[in-house]
Amino acid sequence: MSDGCAMSHTTRDQSRLLARLRRGWGDPARSALRIAFIANLAMFAIGLIGWAVADSTALLADAFDMLVDASAFVFAYLAVGRSRRLQKLAARWSSVLLVALGLGVIAEVVEHWLHGSEPLGLAIVGFSLLSLVVNGGVLALLSGYRHASEVQLRAAWRDARADILVNIGVLLSGVAIALTGYRYIDLAVGLVISAFVIHEGIEIWGDASRES
């Protein structure tokens, strides 16, 4: 009799767990974050190819921005519907990654300044246009969470918005380089991107800190 009761309890527990997993999988916020993660991870790989082809610090910054966002989307996904503490932790993780990315890009700009580079304007334009299209879709997907009650969802929307602005900057730099052949435009845009993502990271940290 006791064995039958134990098995019944185990079956009920397993059913509850499966039901929770199904609810989580079908949650609109989690679905949006899953798509955003896949898109950003794919564009990170494509961005690395673009960096290798175009020899561009701006494209490298864009590629690693995608990787940072993919990581942040994973943490945001895990924090959906969880405790406020975990949500704040996810947002702060996104913040730290953005600041680290900005500092890494500054180091790459300095390295290219010292050793030289020959960025290809038309290649930069092509890869940045592709990134802009993909990130535009991700931003539209996350636009409903701009004023979400969960801080990590607001941070995810901010990450996507930052991507669009970065893409526009890279695109304009590619056009300028293609027209003028002046390589230092790429380095200047790399610095601007690094400053921008550091600023975004600090803003996200502040938003998380204001959460009660």
- pLDDT, tens only, 157-185: 888 888 898 899 899 999 999 999 888 88
Taken in order of first residue, the domains within the chain and their CATH numbers are 28-210 (1.20.1510.10)
CA atoms within 13 A on the CB side of 179: 7
- C-alpha–C-alpha distance, residues 38 and 154, integer Å: 19
pLDDT digits (tens, 9 = 90+) for 51-102: 889 988 888 888 888 888 888 888 788 878 777 777 777 778 778 887 887 8
Average pLDDT, whole number, for the chain? 81
Its pTM stands at: 0.73
For the chain, the distance separating the N- and C-terminal CA atoms, rounded to the nearest angstrom, is: 49
Scan for tokens 């509850």, then name that residue.
Answer: 16
Number of H helices, E strands in the chain: 7, 0
Would you put residue 69 in left (φ > 0), alpha (ψ -120 to 50) or beta? alpha
**Per-residue pLDDT band at 109 (split at 50, 70, 90):** confident
Residue 12 pLDDT class (50, 70, 90 cuts): low
Helix runs in 116-211, H state only: 121-142, 151-180, 184-210
